[in-house]
Chain A
Amino acid sequence: MDAIFEAAMPQNIYRIEITPRLGSEDGRAKAIRRSAQSLPLTIGSIIVSNLYFIGGELSLEQAQALAQTALLDPVADTLDCRPLDLAAGPRAGESTIEITYLPGVTDSVAESLLSVARSLGYKNVRVAASGWRYRFLEALDEEILARLARDLLANDTVQRFAINRPIAPPFVESREFESDRPLVETIPLRDLTPDHLLALSRERRLSLDRDEMLAIQAYYRQQNRDPTDVELETLAQTWSEHCVHKTFKAIIHYREEPDGEDAVIDGLLDTYIRAATEAIAKPWVHSAFVDNAGVIAFDETLDLAFKVETHNHPSALEPFGGANTGVGGVIRDILGVSARPIANTDVLCFGPENLPAEQVPAGSLHPRRVVEGVIHGIEDYGNKMGIPTVNGAVHYHRDFTANPLVYCGCLGALPRGSHRPLTNAQAGDLIVAIGGRTGRDGLRGATFSSMEMDHATAEIAGTAVQIGNPIVEKQVMEVVLRARDAGLYHAITDCGAGGFSSAVGEMGEHVGARVQLKGAPLKYPGLRPWEIWLSEAQERMVLAIPSQNWDAFQAICRAHDVEASILGEFDGSKRLRVYYGETLVADLEMAFLHDGVPRRRLRAVWTRPGLSEPNLPPSSDLTPLLLQALAHANVRSRAAILHRYDHEVQGGTVVKPLVGAGQRGPGDAAVILPQATLVGREPDALQHESLPAATLSVGINPRYGLIDPYFMAWACVDEAVRNAVAVGADPDRIAILDNFCWGNPNLPDRLGSLVRAARGCYDAALAHQTPFISGKDSLNNEYTGADGRKHAIPGSLLISAVGVAPDMRRTTTTDLKEAGHALYLLGETRPELGGSVYYDLFGELGASVPRPYDAPLDRMRGLHRAIVAGWAAAVHDLSEGGLAVALAEMCIGGDLGAEISLAAIPTSEPLTPAQALFSESLGRFLIEVPAKHAIAFEKALAGQPLASIGRVTAEKRLIVRTAEGRPCIDASVKALAFAFGALE
């Protein structure tokens, strides 16, 4: 490294330890003891303390006074503040583990401590850091301590630990040293052979293939010079899979085997996704695929913006930080279309939580840690931003162990017409960056420093994974929304992957930009120009601001403690010129940057797997299987997770994630009343107005894709739409998003299944008349196992739906409402158990995956008419676990019983009781209808496969009789709720 940093140790360093008076009875201490048991390790009492370090020219008395004022809660905690002594050891008969972040990792606690110290007048506190101390009241083996540290308490991606000795603070206070290496390098490539070009791409981790490197070489030959490192990095970023979706734009030669078709596909995105949106042509789609998020009309004045992103790889390495910054990133996408974020969704795919430790691939975290970290990361960011997390799903499968999936979604609301397209920047506009400072965060190719644990001198390493600071983003949000309302900017976008390079490059595509990198505020000195340009530091946005608005914009930023700086200007040159001081470090034609990437040509093969139906032992009593299905990892109650997300902030969650008498039933979809609707309305009037509300729902089922990705895609669209319609969304006002998480697309079998899924998306979108408005793909989700074989995740498509329910008062929930009401089953049941939860209980996959059905939109419209008319007391869609699970969930939610018969179930072929109860056929709903509305209800659904199959009962039992009248399920609602995990 040429830019060397040395932590100049401040004059005095103090270590502050804050310990709860509850000692080992503190909740955190008890939770760690519980978690240790799963390692499995049985440990005795622990005391968890918070550590703080401050350094500067201050006395011990001053440090103590500062700690007392700023850190101590005298009722709950005790304080110990003393000069740092790295030679101290644990007390006899005890052990300790101490943890801090690595130097350079976001430590918002330290930042807060520094800022409060300064505002209290302790100006000579120069550095701060935070950490944790775990004191074990027994002498534990070093080996056990190391396991506790590595497998439970610390994550060496972002943290370091010390056993039985005090940890040194990871102070980042750096001085820049002179270096022989120039600030900017020129990379000679004009004379390289294709093989050497490819080697260069690998060496610099550019992820560019031979054709792309050749295109770059041709450009520079024509320019009669070689590229700078800034230019090469800019091209690699702009042409990356993440930014231009090369696979989805590639020309694909596709074949199906055995004896299937042979076709050439001219781009998956244009052929199947965008084509569906264009064919459906809904006038209420206001922006699809061109901006940071899709935008649709909501009511007369508001639009809705929706985006779903993935943050899989970071979440695998550091689950808390990965999920945390995943949420932060998708929120910025919504800010990037000038919308106020009003709800978050999260869909998570994990390995089994009970996986034996020896089956976790080397280098991967145990799924339990991934689950805990990811949920904590989502909770931390969403809750602190004040955005309710209202919808999602969790799916477990062994093949997600090394590659968990974290899909983060955000819904926003914006006044119609306030969105400025990304490309609306005008020549003469200032390029303005706001929010967090720039560091080596997330830099590709940055060397990850492996420093000694207790060394006070450290390089500041770039890290692939970051920790977010939601409060910084919260303030950025306040600024953006105020600047939007004041009309102060022409264009805005977030800094995500690719940092300034991506943001400025995209905004300036048609106009050109001149950038001065010295304008960017840095976290620490010594960044090379390309590092500033490519840094993926969090919580930053870039705006195009007319110079006459700069003062007004700055005033808003100052009022909200947000840093704003001018990076340059959009200049009409149609070139990208980047300066570092006087030095021109990049000079590229926008046209080449954005259109120069050659299209990839890829080969894809889908081979129909040789699967068959299992032979399962028949059983006359299906009650135990229902209880097992309710307890299945992919079915059971998500209450424990949902209670950790704030789903009430903004006051608009009118159908909540948990529904029913004791909020024990699962909701099909969330219904959100945007707060902007409440402002300016009389509360009394609200009760007599039909106000629209937004719905959020999802469909995901990777197990279906193991049988056939086409049918999986169709099923996902149908499920997302069913869920939306079940709560009251108008089926003619639903838009969908696609998120594909797949393996390596250069392998023909992975790409083959992706093609089949894309085709399913197209057909299903047309059948349901639901336009795609946004989407994203995350490819290369693979790992190489100990056996040297590559393992891909199951191709996983998430369909997220945003809908509009026309009347908030006429929305519905899944919980049964009143004894005596009739229960109707809508939709045909077929013997479709392939990929079902039922088969999974026997460890089987099967082949009979649920198939499409005719005219889904007619069915949805009929049901919607009935819901809007107020004839449906409860509605629940049938998905994983089929009729039996749906019915049980309705009973649990309503704390009421039900009695049904399988005799009348709409079907065109004979079904066994197990098939009738557990088939996962699509297009089906259970509807509770009061007797007085039965006739009208049936009329609304005339022509549809519909039958009254039973009734709601006051006796809290679920009884199912076969066609012959024999009971095949008989369980108390309490037993169902217990199995489901709904009892606290």
Chain B
Amino acid sequence: MTQLRQSALSPPIAILHAPGTNRDMDAAIACEWAGGAPEIVHINQLLAGERRLSDYAMLVIPGGFSYGDDLGAGKLWAVRLLHDLGDQLHAFANAGKPILGICNGFQVLVKTGLLPGAIPNLDAGEDGGRLVTLTRNESAHFECRWVHLEPNRANPSPWLHDLERIFCPVAHGEGRFMARDADALEAILAHQLVAFTYVDEAGRPGPYPINPNGSDAHIAGVTNLAGNILGLMPHPENHILPYQHPNHHRGQSGQMGLKLFENGVAYARAL
């Protein structure tokens, strides 16, 4: 990155890269424009000890097809992170530093169990605490289209501070948010862990294609209870310029995703 807007106040941001990650540069540009100092960090650099997560104030796990998503989206990356870097990752999360998982990154955070994380009075169950997953789209194929995201204003996470509705694309084959059972879904809703839901232009939830993948309760993104970890399937980093809006030729603009990154950077800076 070119360190355009970076200053002493720009928090260092690790944009994690594994084989198959492909929206790392998109996320890095968004982070830089939001005032951060992003660096794309290859997982091999962490494994070799050339970089440590603790050197960074914020972590972004970007989109792509890590390791080809051959064993289920995000699964292999999650297994490797937990197995080889679990201590660093949990230390980062427990320190309350902001973590953002987008698309494949969201899948990774869910499959490591960092999202939605522990929920009080909810039995983690025999399966080791996994309450939710992101599985194959209801349509059974990849889907790329623009969607409207309604932020949950009752969720106090700093990621969502003063956020307006966001218009941005989804691009995934396995983004269907699915809770283990009705209790788990109820607990997520009750604890206001929902970060974004899929809605139409007027803010109303609805069936496909408004909800592009068949997610439970139209959920597009969630946070943990502490609010420092956010995961979402859509790509706010692909709407940080007015020209990226599909209707900028019709004079429309706004609903951009940049504010989300600014929230993360502001939060990282304040820590």
Interface residues of A (CB under 8 A from B): 20, 26-28, 30-31, 69-71, 73-76, 108-109, 111-113, 115-116, 119-120, 376, 379, 383-386, 469-471, 474-475, 558-561, 642-651, 653-656, 658-661, 663, 673, 675, 678-683, 686-687, 808-809, 811-813, 815, 817, 984
Do residues B19 and A474 form an inter-chain contact, with CB atoms below 8 A? yes
Beyond A69-B79, A654-B243, whether A116 also contacts B71 by CB under 8 A is yes
Q: Which of B45-84 contact A (CB under 8 A)?
A: 45, 63-65, 67-68, 70-72, 75-76, 79-80, 83-84
A661: chain B residues at CB < 8 Å are 247, 250
Q: Is the CB of A27 within 8 A of B137?
A: yes
* Chain A proximity of B86: nearest CB distance (Å): 12
Measured between beta carbons, the chain B residues less than 8 angstroms from A686 are: 241, 243
CB-defined contacts of A647 to chain B, threshold 8 Å = 144
How far, in whole Å, are A643 and B209 apart by their CA atoms in the complex? 11
Contact at B179–A27, with CB atoms within 8 Å?
Answer: no
Total number of B residues with any Cβ neighbor in A under 8 Å: 71
The smallest beta-carbon distance between B234 and chain A, in angstroms, is: 10
Q: How far is the CB of A168 from the nearest CB of chain B, in Å?
A: 21
Q: Is the CB of A75 within 8 A of B142?
A: no
**Would A112 and B241 count as touching, CB distance under 8 A?**
no
A984 to B5, CA, bound (A): 43
On chain A, the residues within 8 Å of B235 by CB distance are 648
CB <8 Å contact, B67 and A112: yes
B231-256 vs A, CB cutoff 8 Å, 1 = contact: the mask equals 00001011011111011111100000
Distance from A31 Cβ to chain B, minimum over Cβ atoms (Å): 5
Nearest B residue to A32, CB-CB: B140
* B133 interface residue per 8 A CB criterion: yes
**Cα–Cα, bound, A708→B251 (Å):** 44
A649/B140 contact (C-beta < 8 A), A643-B145, A663-B145 known: no
B256 to chain A, nearest CB (A): 10
A471-B20, A475-B19, A655-B249 are known contacts; what are 14 more A-B pairs with Cβ within 8 Å?
A74-B133, A75-B131, A75-B135, A75-B180, A119-B80, A471-B67, A474-B22, A559-B42, A559-B45, A649-B23, A651-B238, A659-B249, A679-B25, A815-B250
Give complex CA distance A301, B26 in Å.
Answer: 21
B64, B75, B145: the one within 8 Å of A73 (CB): B75
Q: Would you give 11 A-B contacts (Cβ < 8 Å), ordered by A?
A: A75-B131, A113-B70, A119-B84, A376-B141, A471-B19, A648-B238, A649-B238, A683-B33, A686-B241, A813-B249, A815-B249
* Bound: A648/B23 CA distance, A: 10
B210 to chain A: closest CB distance in Å?
A: 10
Chain A residues within 8 Å of B29, by CB = 651, 675, 678-679
Closest to B141 in A: A644
A379–B142 CB distance below 8 A: yes
Give the shortest distance, in Å, between A116 (CB) and chain B (any CB).
6
Determine the chain B residues whose CB is within 8 A of the CB of A681 once the complex forms. Answer: 4
Tell me whether B246 and A679 are in contact (CB under 8 A).
Answer: no
Chain B residues near A70: list those with CB within 8 A: 71, 75-76, 79
- Chain B contacts with A in 112-140, Cβ cutoff 8 A: 127-128, 130-133, 135-140
**B143 an interface residue at 8 Å Cβ cutoff?**
yes
Interface, chain B (partner A; CB < 8 A): 1-2, 4-5, 19-20, 22-23, 25-26, 29, 33, 42, 44-45, 63-65, 67-68, 70-72, 75-76, 79-80, 83-84, 111, 127-128, 130-133, 135-146, 169, 171, 178-180, 208-209, 214, 235, 237-238, 240-244, 246-251, 258
- State A136–B205 Cα separation when bound (angstroms): 35
Question: A678 contacts which chain B residues (CB < 8 A)?
Answer: 29, 241
Q: How far is the CA of A656 from the CA of B145 in the complex (A)?
A: 11
CB distance from B181 to the nearest CB of A (A): 9
Query: Which residue on chain B has the smallest CB distance to residue A74?
Result: B127
Residues A75 and B127 in contact, CB atoms below 8 Å apart: yes
Closest CB-CB distance, A739 to chain B, in whole Å? 26
Residues of B within 8 A of A648 (CB): 144, 169, 171, 235, 238, 244
> Who on chain A is nearest to B67 by CB?
A112
* A561: nearest chain-B partner, CB-CB: B19
In the complex, A111→B135 CA distance in Å?
Answer: 22
A679 touches B136 (CB 8 A): no
Task: Give Cα A956 to B142, complex, Å.
Answer: 33
CA distance A399 to B188 in the complex (A): 56
In chain B, what residue has the closest Cβ to A379? B142
> Chain B: which residue is nearest A474 at the CB level?
B20
The residue from A75, A471, A559, A644 contacting B132, defined by CB atoms under 8 A apart: A75
* Given A108-B70, A683-B241, A26 and B145 contact (CB-CB distance below 8 Å): no
Structural contact, A73 and B135, CB atoms closer than 8 A: yes
In the bound complex, how far is the Cα of B171 from the Cα of A653, in angstroms?
Answer: 14
Known pairs A119-B83, A386-B23, A470-B68; A646 contacts B111 (CB<8 A) = no
**Interfacial chain A residues near B209, Cβ < 8 Å:** 984
User: Which of chain B's residues have a CB closer than 8 A to the CB of A560?
Assistant: 19, 42, 44
Contact of B144 among A75, A643, A680 (CB under 8 A): A643
A675-B25 CB under 8 A given contacts A31-B140, A112-B70, A469-B68: yes
Would you call B22 and A649 a contact (CB within 8 A)?
yes
Contacts of B251 in A (CB 8 A): 817
Q: How far is the CB of A86 from chain B (nearest CB, A)?
A: 25
Closest residue on chain A to residue B179 by CB atoms: A75
Task: Give bound CA distance, A642 to B214, whole Å.
Answer: 20
Give every chain A residue within 8 A of B138 (Cβ-Cβ). Answer: 27
Contact flag A27-B136 (CB < 8 Å), given A112-B71, A474-B20, A682-B5? yes
Most buried by B among A651, A679, A683: A651
Give B171's nearest chain A residue, CB to CB.
A646
Closest 6 CB pairs of A and B: A386-B22, A27-B140, A74-B127, A75-B133, A112-B70, A680-B2
Centre residue among B237, B243, B247 by max chain A CB count within 10 A: B243
B80: contacting residue among A109, A116, A650, A687, CB under 8 A? A116
Measured CA separation A115–B18 after assembly (Å): 14
Q: Which residues of A contact B141 (CB under 8 A)?
A: 31, 376, 379, 644
A112 to B169, CA, bound (A): 29
In contact, B25 and A650 (Cβ under 8 angstroms): yes
Residues on the A chain within 8 Å of B247, using CB: 660-661
A655 to B258, CA, bound (A): 20
Q: Are A808 and B72 in contact (CB under 8 A)?
A: no
A76 touches B133 (CB 8 A): yes
Instruction: Kindly list chain B residues whose C-beta atoms are within 8 Å of the C-beta of A683.
Output: 33, 240-241, 258
A682 touches B4 (CB 8 A): yes
A572 and B241 CA atoms in complex are apart in Å by 52
Closest to B64 in A: A386
Interfacial chain B residues near A20, Cβ < 8 Å: 135-136
Q: A75-B132, A474-B22 are in contact. Are A384 and B68 (CB under 8 A)?
A: yes
* A479 CB, nearest partner CB in chain B, Å: 11
Q: Judging by beta carbons under 8 Å apart, are B71 and A663 in contact?
A: no
Contact of B249 with A116 in the complex, beta carbons under 8 Å: no
- In the complex, the answer to whether A812 meets B171 with C-beta atoms within 8 Å is no
A659 to B180, CA, bound (A): 39
Q: How far is the CA of A789 from the CA of B169 in the complex (A)?
A: 50
Nearest residue (CB) in A for B68 is A471
**Which residues from A are CB-within-8-Å of B22?**
384-386, 474, 649
Alpha-carbon gap, A119 to B85, bound state (A)? 12
Closest B residue, CB atoms, query A112? B70
* B238 with A817: CB separation less than 8 A: no
A264 CB, nearest partner CB in chain B, Å: 52
Q: Check A659–B246 contact: CB distance below 8 A.
A: yes
